[in-house]
Structure 1
Amino acid sequence: MRGGTGRPALTYTATRRACYTGFVTQAVVNNLAPLLFIVFQTSYDVPVEMLGRLVLLNFGVQLLTDLAAVRFADRTGYRIPLVLAHALAVLGLVLLAVAPAVAPTPYVGLCVAVIVYAIGGGLLEVMVSPVVESLPSPQEGKAAAMSLLHSFYCWGQVAVVGGTTAVLAMTGFGSWQVLPLLWAVVPAVNLVVFLRVPLPPTVPDEHRLSLRSLFGAPAFVCALVLMMTAGAAELTMSQWSSFFAETSLGVAKTWGDLAGPGLFAALMGVGRIVYGLWGARIPLAPTMIGAGSLSVVCYLVATLSPSPVVSLAACALCGLAVSIMWPGTFSLAAARFPLGGAAMFAVLAVMGDLGGAVGPWLTGAVADLTAASTGLLGSLAAALPDDGGTGLRVGLLGAAVFPLVLVVCATVWTALGRRAAESAGVLAAAEAGIEVTIPER
């Protein structure tokens, strides 16, 4: 089959692959800067809290982009926002390399670069997931397809960690500016692909469930909390594990990056691939309860263990624990509200980015307060294994509350689903003239 230009017409298979690469692009813009935190601290004398502020800025701008996308996501179609997202990712990565040298201060330059590529990252988060959800596939395989899509974020993160670590090991910190320029090739190529691939239509206004109706549903409010805590649980460990390994555990940067964020991302990818292959047979909400519980344990072991090896293993295992949280919440919401449209995904992405912004920033802020405290926080830090005076063990210990709240919320979701099923059964029975009595709980 050929298009009007004589070139072979692209199929939805090419669209799916472009979406996978879109999530690799998002992994690049979200994870490259944290790997350079130690470079920024030593070269530009940036304090820990201000490093955390870069993460807050990244996901805060993505959050604002998601909010803006709520209004236009279903009206413009998918192509324009997706092409714009990749263009901004390219520009932001180029600025990351050059702006610190030409801006009034290096930190201002870093902030400008983060703002530009964060807008692109926010558009990718909003637009890519509903595209894959809308592609032809059996309904029972939707959750598995979503998990498989999100696994490419993990493999992108693995590639960023591995590639960045290798380049820094070979060239040293003095040539770090080449890294953003190299990684900008990924969104540049995918931009061209998204100009050509076929894209599904968005949900028409007359069929789409209104946001007012969504916010009036207790299950959707529950999904919003799930999304926020999923973002916080995933991104807090992902963004801080490299710095934690180097400054708190005394591990060399190369091995710290590979054993911390590198293995974290690999195990997160494995978890999503496994659910992508066999997820149609696995109940999603109970799986998220188990994953959240494992994540709590990982945060506790990482901060409480005096052994660097055990702490790093817990950081890495946390990747497996959080793997299903973000795509799982998307799938739960899409199954419960199939006519939510891209606007629903945008609202969910807002909450995920809110968690991704606030979680790592709060962790860094608590760490700074702990390092300067002689009171309760200082006493808690003294009771924990040594962290080089960074206070990061206390910050990560407090972050265990994020997956704990997710466990509670996933349990509530299960109860709401059971109640909805019972109500539907009673209604069907009443229509058939059958009297049904629901037992007391």
Structure 2
Amino acid sequence: MRSICAPALLLLTLGWTLSFANGQGSSAALYNLTARFEGPTLASILGVSDDSAITRTVVTAWQDKLAQQASTFLTVPLNQVVIRSFAIEQQAVGVRRRSRALSSLDLALAAVSGSTRSGSSSRRQLQQSGDGAMVALLATFDVLDTQPDSQATLDFTRSGLAELAAALGAASVTVNGVDRSAGVIASFFAPPPPSPRPGASALRGQPPLAPKLFAYFDSMLAPGAPGRSREVVWYDDSDLLKERLDGTPLNLVWRNKSACFTRPTCGACSRAWGATAAPYSVTLYFRDPVQLATIAIRQVNAPAVKMVQLLPWPAVNITGAPAPRSGFLGTPLFNEATDITPCPGTLTITLPRKRSGLAEVVPVAGSQAELPRALQRTAVGGVVITLSAPPTAASQRTVVEWVRFTGRALYPLDSSEYSM
């Protein structure tokens, strides 16, 4: 399978036709697969106590988790994995019976409803189990590979499918078909546009708008940085621009600022951060616990990043969150006496798979308030970037235009915050 190295998100819009090139004009390939999950009951597969606890919310969360696990393992953007339908197969006394394709709502109805025809039929099928019976849930999904002829192509050989099944917690995964035509219309892979939302700070302490185990983000600015009058100012705070000053950390949080330069140029920039006093460091904060794949630091004058360190979550006081944790999260990610990044240039740090934690399972039972211990080891609450002391001349001071992150947020309060 592909190694994890934070792929750039593919931007697709309605009606576009895929025609991706890797030097020789190769086309996209669309794989249709089925993952088979087995257990004594449907509830055991979906991770709840019994069939009566299965709701549409439970099924939707399980469906989202399946897509996210496939995306992580195959290292393709989440919007290139689409869960199509479910089917329930009852195995008893050596006989297999398979239901028609079910949507996530139908699947919930199959377990808990007797009021509809489809729900009643599927429910009776589930209740026909006896000693030694086994329920199988078959999830059919599509995976879009934009570079099928490159060395990074998806591995759907027998061994590759076995690895994918293990990553998904499935009994097996099979390939139903492959569309290698050059004109695959991929508008259905486009992520939905974010809907207007209230300020996230106002939602702290309230149930999530749409509960999700995690949400991926790509090339995202950090949500918070120190302000003039308080410990942290978030990007959607109403007084962000009042708290912001030229050359200060909040320029690394400011979403709507214009670029420092329109061509490859080095120099001072009022809309960037420039270290002017010891310890020549800046701290950026995350409102939700995050796991990081990459950190990209854009320097437009005198590159001199010396050290990059992670802080555990939460790293700062956040309304409705646990008390801040002290210290650093592991050893420094970057610790060099000399930064050889060209000017202007971007220093990109890729976290090793084990250090990033992106392959870890996110338990359904967890939450930000009760972050599972296994996730605490990789849950990041902040990043500290330290520069080498600059020369006396002000023109030689390091200027950082932006810092962008790729990874996923754990138990996000508002997942739409990461689809911007």
- Same fold per TM (> 0.5)? no
For Structure 1 versus Structure 2, the TM-score category normalised by the shorter chain is under 0.3
Higher helix fraction: Structure 1 or Structure 2? 1
Higher strand fraction: Structure 1 or Structure 2? 2
Which one scores higher on RCO, CA 8 angstroms, separation ≥ 6?
Answer: 1
Whose radius of gyration is greater, 1 or 2? 2
- Please give the TM-score of this superposition, normalised by the length of structure 2: 0.21
- Please give the TM-score of this superposition, normalised by the length of structure 1: 0.20
